[in-house]
């Protein structure tokens, strides 16, 4: 009987703790990681605040391990030169849209609603890209993004 009571109390404590536990997601404290700086990205008529991944370490980390993105947040990957930069969903916890841009910021390729369950599949652009933007899943569809659309990026550096 004592073991049953102890087990019941433990379950109650876990239940109460789960009610008050709110995971820290990118949306709660978006820019506390000092390795990143932010840029403003405008896709269609919508503006996003983007964390910039412009080093090998930051590009490798990407959004891995984060709990989500708000609808006005993004991650911007900047490469030193144009290439066929592949992306995978390693350690991702939520679905995203990916937008590849050329040196003039025109859309050269995109993928929508990519699930973490697609890992280890690698997603590649159809043409070389210098910039890549990751957005909350469904954003590209909502904005009606098409190949050759222009994306505006203003540097926060």
Q: What is the mean pLDDT of each run of 10 residues along the chain (157 residues)?
A: 62 51 41 70 95 91 90 95 96 96 97 96 97 97 96 81
CATH number of 26-154: 2.60.120.1140
Backbone torsions φ then ψ of 22, nearest 5 degrees: -125, 110
pLDDT at 107: 98
Strand pairing report for 96-101 and 73-83: unpaired
Cβ-based burial of 99 (10 A; exposed 0-12, middle 13-18, buried ≥19) = buried
> What's the pTM value of the predicted model, to 2 decimals?
0.78
Rounded Cα distance between 35 and 27, Å, is 17
Backbone torsions φ then ψ of 36, nearest 5 degrees: -100, 155
pLDDT at 10: 55
pLDDT at 125: 98
The SS3 assignment for 30 reads: coil
pLDDT at 26: 42
């Amino acid at each position: 009987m004592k073991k049953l009571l102890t087990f019941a109390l433990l379950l109650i404590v876990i239940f109460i703790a789960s009610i008050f536990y709110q995971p820290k997601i990118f949306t709660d404290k978006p820019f506390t990681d000092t390795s990143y700086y932010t840029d403003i990205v405008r896709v269609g008529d919508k503006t996003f605040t983007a964390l910039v991944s412009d080093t090998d370490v930051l590009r490798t980390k990407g959004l891995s391990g984060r709990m989500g993105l708000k609808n006005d947040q993004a991650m911007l990957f900047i490469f030193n030169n144009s290439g066929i930069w592949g992306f995978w969903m390693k350690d991702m916890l939520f679905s995203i849209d990916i937008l590849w841009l050329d040196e003039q910021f025109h859309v050269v390729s995109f993928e929508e609603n990519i699930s973490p369950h697609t890992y280890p599949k690698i997603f590649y652009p159809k043409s070389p890209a210098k910039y890549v933007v990751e957005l909350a899943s469904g954003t590209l569809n909502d904005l009606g993004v098409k190949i050759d659309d222009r994306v505006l990026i203003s540097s926060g550096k």
